[in-house]
Structure 1
Amino acid sequence: MFTEERQQAIIKQLNRDGIVKLQELVQTLDCSISTVRRDLQELEDQGKLVRVHGGATQITTLQSEPGVLEKSSKNVQAKQKIAKLAVQQIRADEVIYLDAGTSTEAMIPFMTTLSSVLVVTNGVQLASKLADINVKTYLLGGELKNTTKAIIGADVVETIKNFRFNRAFMGVNGVHPKYGFTTPDPNEAAVKRDVLAQSELGYFLADKSKLNEVSFAKVAELGAGVLLTDEHDKEVLQEFDQTKRIMEAEK
């Protein structure tokens, strides 16, 4: 395979998954690790990606926020594995909160056998899908954010203060050892923080492409909730395992 073909293949995979791993590229492209490293270096020099430990990620800014359609097509299998793990934490008769987002939306197909669960959500699409499987659901009212289909604003924050949750499941755009859990929109970050404050247990669903990423608005420190991820590299996870609050989805 020629250099240009390899690099196009790398960018294609990066656009699909948001992250590429060095060892996986070696196998996929059938070339040496030094060749892949050289390709990643050249692509970074061209401003097409950012190299990280063990691979590379897409270039993002603090305010970058893909829409629902774009996010729903990325890391589908990873999200499903994380979602399955998340649903396994729920017990019968619990009151849970589901944050708006594609990671939490992936939980719904696994919730069909749950008994007497009450769900509160700020996700319009989530509420509709929960109704389809006959889960009792409260949809919070407020301003609808078009890109993420999330209900945000002061009305949501005020309403959340009147509720208590056994468990809250939230998506984030970035998980960083120093900067914690972050998201691009301060309004969405405010909702997540208030939900966390009203919950007995908080869970953050983040596939491996979100690790070591940072967005504009901070939600919480790493120790504020359990990180559910599909990352299995112990060396990578060690950076995030400050409070032993990490759960790995099945491979």
Structure 2
Amino acid sequence: MFAEERLDEIIKILNSEGKLKVKDLSIKFNVTEDCIRKDLKTLENQSLLKRTYGGAVQVRESAEDIDVLIRKDADITTKTIIAQKAFNLINHRETIFLDISTTNIILAKLLASSNKQITIVTNMLDIVNVLSKPNNIRVICTGGILNRNLDGFTGAPTIEIISKYKFDKSFIGSCGIDVFDESITTFDIDDGITKRAILESSKKSYVVMEDSKFHMDGNYKFACLSDIDCIITEKAPKEEVESILSDFNIEVF
């Protein structure tokens, strides 16, 4: 096998498995470990991977911590597709939680214009405003400590209220999911521990997020793949991502 062919194969393995080990590649390609290290250095110089001790991992983007007032006007078409899918999963008489998420604002608008008789608990002010007039929806706001950047409530007082409920379904926002290390992330610590409390109080949990977030990370891990039931995104994820989610019995909509 020529060196260029080996490099191509290494990238295919990385895309499939999410990480590489020098020892395993050395055995697979029947070359020395030094040869593999040189290959990984070449690929790192091309920004195709990131070397680690004993191997390499995929290059992932860091999601930007942008104020919610700016984010809610971005990617409207994509978020509307996700929100519509979430809307179709909500049944009459259910009690649901809408987490701090710009996609959930759109979902709230869809619910407000529907005839579904439901109870919505939320910690996001924008969602409360959207739902302030419709008679078909009973609205409960958690209250707590206001996080102005997120336009919602997080932290201990909010968590205390959330812990009193058992939601039929919850719809959770996220900055990113890394299926290869099984992490679900956000930026703000208080937001993260609040999301964790929502998951623990939910019979069924859905993460609502754009497909691009399978390749992004926040800096606070609030859950693992085993903690959620479903992911709602605008399109089917890559085959290797979907395969890992299937191993965790996570439904993808």
Q: Do they fold alike, i.e. is TM over 0.5?
A: yes
Change (3 A) 1:69 1:197: same
**Of the candidates 227, 232, 236, which is equivalent to residue 228 of structure 1?**
232
2: distance between equivalents of 1:51 and 1:127? 44
Change (3 A) 1:101 1:93: same
SS at match of 2:215: coil
Deviations 1:30-82 (A, max 9, x none): xxxxxxxxxxxxxxx9xxxx879xxxx99536xx4111132123221111111
Q: Which has the larger radius of gyration?
A: 2
TM-score (norm 1): 0.71
Q: CA deviation at 1:94?
A: 0.7
SS at match of 1:132: coil
The answer for the alignment partner of 1:21 in structure 2 is none
1:164-183 equivalences under 5 Å are 164-177=166-179, 178-183=181-186
Structure 1 residue runs of 5 or longer lacking an equivalent are: 1-44
Amino acid at match of 1:144: L
Q: CA deviation at 1:190?
A: 0.8
Structure 2 residue runs of 5 or longer lacking an equivalent are: 1-44, 50-58
**Does the CA contact (< 8 Å) of 2:60 and 2:217 recur in 1?**
no
1:245 and 2:244 matched: no
SS at match of 1:73: coil
1:2-41 equivalences under 5 Å are none
**Of the candidates 184, 193, 196, which is equivalent to residue 196 of structure 2?**
193
**Does the CA contact (< 8 Å) of 1:231 and 1:237 recur in 2?**
no
Percent identity of equivalent pairs: 23
State which drifts further: 73-82 or 194-203.
73-82
1: distance between equivalents of 2:105 and 2:244? 28
SS at match of 2:79: helix
Change (3 A) 1:132 1:213: same
1:87 and 2:87 matched: yes
TM-score (norm 2): 0.70
Q: CA deviation at 1:181?
A: 1.2
SS at match of 2:221: strand
The answer for the alignment partner of 1:72 in structure 2 is 72
Amino acid at match of 2:145: E
1: distance between equivalents of 2:164 and 2:245? 32
2: distance between equivalents of 1:101 and 1:152? 13
Change (3 A) 1:114 1:218: farther
Change (3 A) 1:58 1:84: same
1: distance between equivalents of 2:62 and 2:238? 25
RMSD of aligned residue pairs (Cα, Å): 2.5
1:122 and 2:123 matched: yes
1:213 and 2:208 matched: no
**Of the candidates 131, 144, 152, which is equivalent to residue 154 of structure 2?**
152
**Does the CA contact (< 8 Å) of 2:95 and 2:169 recur in 1?**
yes
SS at match of 1:93: coil
Over 6 Å off, 4+ runs: none
**Does the CA contact (< 8 Å) of 2:226 and 2:248 recur in 1?**
yes
